[in-house]
Amino acid sequence: MKCPRCSGDDDRVSDTREVNGGLAIRRRRVCNRCGFRFSTYEEINPDGVVVVKRDGTRQPFDRKKLEQAVKRACGKRPIPSERLRELLDRVVGELKQGEVASDKVAELIMKELYKTDVVAYIRFASVYRKFTDVEQFLAVISEVSEK
């Protein structure tokens, strides 16, 4: 592992633990060269999951892409990155090998965001459902307030 400070590649692991209920692993590391302490996370990335978009195009599932979309929705909201990682871990854990509709992935994200932060949920829904007018926006907001 390269040290982010001195770029040396000699480090030792001082602690390894399961986080997020065993869905991910965090390793605390210490650089043997400069003493810098940092952590790495092993994230779940499912192999062999293909996302089918609405227009029928297919592409391999890409956690990073999904993460970016979720981060955009969560921009400036008080959500720790830890929570976001956990959210993504749970969504990824629901995916099965093979083809999955992008709508399905978005629904999973929305379900998790709803429990996490309603504002982020509404933002994500507005992008995903491509709201074209205020009516649609208000419909989702009233859905949220009824729940």
Task: Work out how close the CB of 23 gets to Zn ion at its nearest, in angstroms, rounded to a whole number.
Answer: 29
The contact pattern for Zn ion, residues 2-21, with x = CB under 5 A and - = no contact, is -x-xx-x-------------
Distance CA 28, CA 115 (A): 29
User: 52 to each of 38, 68, 119, how far by Cα in Å?
Assistant: 37, 18, 27
Give 81's contacts (C-beta < 8 A, 6+ positions apart): none
**Nearest-approach distance from CB 28 to Zn ion, in angstroms:** 14
46 binds Zn ion (CB under 5 A): no
The radius of gyration computed from the CA coordinates of the chain, to the nearest angstrom, equals 19
**Distance of closest approach, residue 13 Cβ to Zn ion, in angstroms:** 14
Q: Which span sits near Zn ion by CB under 5 A: 34-42, 69-77, 100-108, 134-142?
A: 34-42
What is the Cα–Cα distance from 25 to 96, expressed in whole angstroms?
21
* Minimum distance of Zn ion from residue 12's CB (angstroms): 11
87 alpha carbon, distance to own chain's centre: 6
Annotate 106-125 with DSSP letters as a single string: HHHHHHHHHHH-HHHHHHHH
Which CB sits closer to Zn ion, 6 or 127? Answer: 6
- Interface residue with Zn ion, options 23, 36, 126, 140 (CB under 5 A): 36
User: Does the footprint of Zn ion cover residue 29 (CB under 5 A)?
Assistant: no
Most distant CA atoms of the chain, gap in Å: 59
| Residue 33 binds Zn ion (CB under 5 A) | yes
Q: How many residues bind Zn ion (CB under 5 A)?
A: 8
Q: What number of residues does the chain have?
A: 147
Name the residues that contact Zn ion, by CB under 5 A: 3, 5-6, 8, 31, 33-34, 36
